[in-house]
Amino acid sequence: MSLTAFSALPLPLTQLSLAAVLQCGQSFRWSRYHLGNDIKTPEDYEYRLCLRDRLVCLRQSPTTLYYRTVTPLASENDEQRALREAETLVWVNNYFQLDIDLSKLYVEWAARDKVFDNLKERFIGIRMLRQDPWENLISFICSSNNNISRITKMVQNLCTYFSPPLLSAPSPVPNSTEVIEYHPFPPPSALSATSTSTTLRGLGFGYRADFIQKTSKMLVDAHNTKPNYPDGREPAEHWLETIRALPTAEARNELVQFMGVGRKVADCVLLMSMDKKEVIPVDTHVHQIAVKHYGMKGGNAKGKTTMNPKLYDEINEKFVSIWGKYAGWAHSVLFTSELKAFAAYGLADVSSAASASAPALLRGQSSPPKPKSGVPKAKSERILPTPPSTPALSRKRKSDEAEDVRQTDSSAGSLADRVKQRRR
Rounded to whole angstroms, the Cα distance separating 195 from 200 reads: 9
Closest CA to 23 of 345, 267, 348, 280: 345
Rounded to whole angstroms, the Cα distance separating 63 from 353 reads: 6
Sign (positive/negative) of CA torsion 87, 67, 350, 398? positive
Give the ranges where 40-144 is alpha helix by DSSP (H): 78-95, 102-112, 114-119, 133-141
Rounded to whole angstroms, the Cα distance separating 213 from 217 reads: 6
Q: Mark whether 264 is an active-site residue.
A: yes
Q: How far is CA 372 from CA 2, 9, 49, 80, 383, in A?
A: 19, 7, 22, 17, 20
Catalytic residue, candidates 214, 217, 264, 276: 264
Which residues lie below 8 Å from residue 361, measured CB to CB, with a gap of 6+?
9, 10, 11, 93, 98, 99, 368, 369
- Contact assessment for residue 68 and residue 47, using Cβ atoms and an 8 Å cutoff: no
Catalytic residue positions? 264
